Amino acid sequence: MENFALILDARNLHHPSELQLLLQPILAQIPSSLHRSLIIITPHPVTAFPPLPPEWLIIPIEDLKTSLNRYNYRCLGYIPLIPESLPTLLPLPTIYSDSPAFIAPWIPQTNFPLETAQAAAFNLSTWIASIELVQSSLTQQCPDYPWLLPKLAESLEKQSKNFRWQAISSSEPPVIPKLTPKVLAVIPHYGCEAWLHRCLLSLVNQTRPPDNIVVIDDNSPTTPTEIVAKFPTVTLMVAQENVGPYRLVQQIIKETAYDYYLFQDADDWSASQRLARLLSMAETQKADLVGTQEIRLDATTQTLTSITYPLDVNQALVEKPGHPLLHSTSLVRRSLVMQLGGFATGLRFGGDTEFLLRAAFVGRIVNIPEYGYFRQKRPHSLTTAPQTGLNSPARKQLLATLKQRANENRIAIAQGKKPNLEPLATSTPITLNHCFGPALNT
């Protein structure tokens, strides 16, 4: 890690003596080689600190840019020294010394739940990034404490900087089968123009790109023509009426013949190895539906939180019909979709849960242990709007119906009968108009 430097942001400390108390747990978690490349940002005069190793840089914030230019660092880690929430860090990987420019949350050690999704107790405040990206946004970031990764990303996007999103993981790179199957990334879109560019860039920049990417516009007030046109490899299709995401997804699966379909919401984005890891798990472990762990962005506070999911989704659903997989993180085999008769196209929301509860009876469903998906929690989405949100009466009533149906299917199987795996509600097929972009595999 000779090209790696670590910033410890001490601007929130009220007295220099606090630094000594916080340094020990941090130093215990990082390689000893990094102890020689620490940069401590302080609000106090440098002379106020007790004697520290001479190779450490203890500098006021205004000297940071000059100090970084002095060294040949490739990557930079950032840890705000917050006494009440010091992180338990994952080990540093070795893959970043020659990788393309990237930013990545540095995620604490993870314990995966057995039954349903679980949010971390603290926000993600630590991150790692390519040094040139940090230098490009120092002017905008310096006044803030702590430096928030989403704000760093916004600054870079305003400058049209090209970079990849990653999530720090200590696992080995994915094993990609030599004869890789065909994958279509599917993005239902309605009124998400503000986030669509980031969404598409994250898919185009995959280490194993999808064979095709399609944006299916659900008759938005403004068709996202200009945004999609910036990506020549992306196809734009438009529905003639507003029908909801499940009719869009089912129609594109019906009209095409890919081996797998990669889902993504238009206001979310992916880590650069997401598809590679999902595909590796699906192919090597014969899984039919594979999801990832989630990093959630609160659009109001601009903070990140890690959300963990059970690794064995089938077993989780036996234990409890909860929320063991996030649909938008997942990769699904076409054969599983066809075996189940497709998605419940008659539903405007909740169709992902409906599909999952049926799929668990016939397919192998897992989550990979890596964080591959960045999900945005924002007002007025399907899961937050008063009429369709997770706590709305309509959503609760639908969930009760789905759980009852799943329980009836378990009883039927126990009695040697066939379960009812037909979609709960279906609607008529729709017409999707090809606006522009490559033809899809049919």
- Give 25 or 161, the one with higher predicted confidence: 161
Mean pLDDT of 271-293: 95
pLDDT of residue 60: 79
CB 125 within 8 A of CB 106: no
Give the percent of the chain with pLDDT over 90.
59
Mean pLDDT of 405-434: 94
Nearest of 437, 339, 343, 352 to residue 395 by alpha carbon:
352
Q: What is the pLDDT of residues 76-91, one digit of tens each?
A: 889 888 876 666 766 6
- Give 388 or 151, the one with higher predicted confidence: 151
Mean pLDDT of 286-313: 95
| Residue 148, CA distances (Å) to 80, 89, 151, 317 in order | 10, 17, 5, 36
Name the percent of the chain in helix, strand, coil, to the closest 5.
30, 20, 45
pLDDT of residue 91: 64
- Give 356 or 441, the one with higher predicted confidence: 356
pLDDT of residue 40: 86
**Which residues are 214's β-sheet partners?**
186, 235
- Give 31 or 271, the one with higher predicted confidence: 271
pTM above 0.75, yes or no: yes
Give the percent of the chain with pLDDT over 70.
89
Q: What is the pLDDT of residues 359-408, one digit of tens each?
A: 999 999 999 999 999 999 977 666 666 666 667 788 889 999 999 999 99
Q: What is the pLDDT of residues 205-249, one digit of tens each?
A: 999 999 999 999 999 999 999 999 999 999 999 999 999 999 999
| Residue 135, CA distances (Å) to 45, 59, 368, 405 in order | 23, 16, 33, 55
Exposed / middle / buried, residue 159 (Cβ in 10 Å: 0-12, 13-18, 19+): exposed
pLDDT band at 106 (very low <50, low <70, confident <90, very high): confident
What is the token pair recorded at 154? 């916004």
pLDDT band at 122 (very low <50, low <70, confident <90, very high): confident
Residue/partner pairs of 16-21 with CB below 8 Å, 24 or more apart? 16/42, 16/44, 16/48, 16/49, 16/50, 17/50, 18/81, 18/83, 19/49, 19/81, 20/50, 21/83
Nearest of 199, 210, 124 to residue 167 by alpha carbon:
124
pLDDT of residue 68: 81
Residue 310, amino acid:
P
pLDDT of residue 139: 64
Please give the biggest Cα pair distance in the chain.
78
Angle at 157 between CA 151 and CA 159, to 5 degrees: 110
- Give 278 or 135, the one with higher predicted confidence: 278
In the chain, the N- to C-terminal Cα span, in Å, equals: 47
| Parallel/antiparallel/unpaired status of strands 303-308 and 118-119 | antiparallel
Residue-averaged pLDDT of the chain: 88
pLDDT band at 95 (very low <50, low <70, confident <90, very high): very low
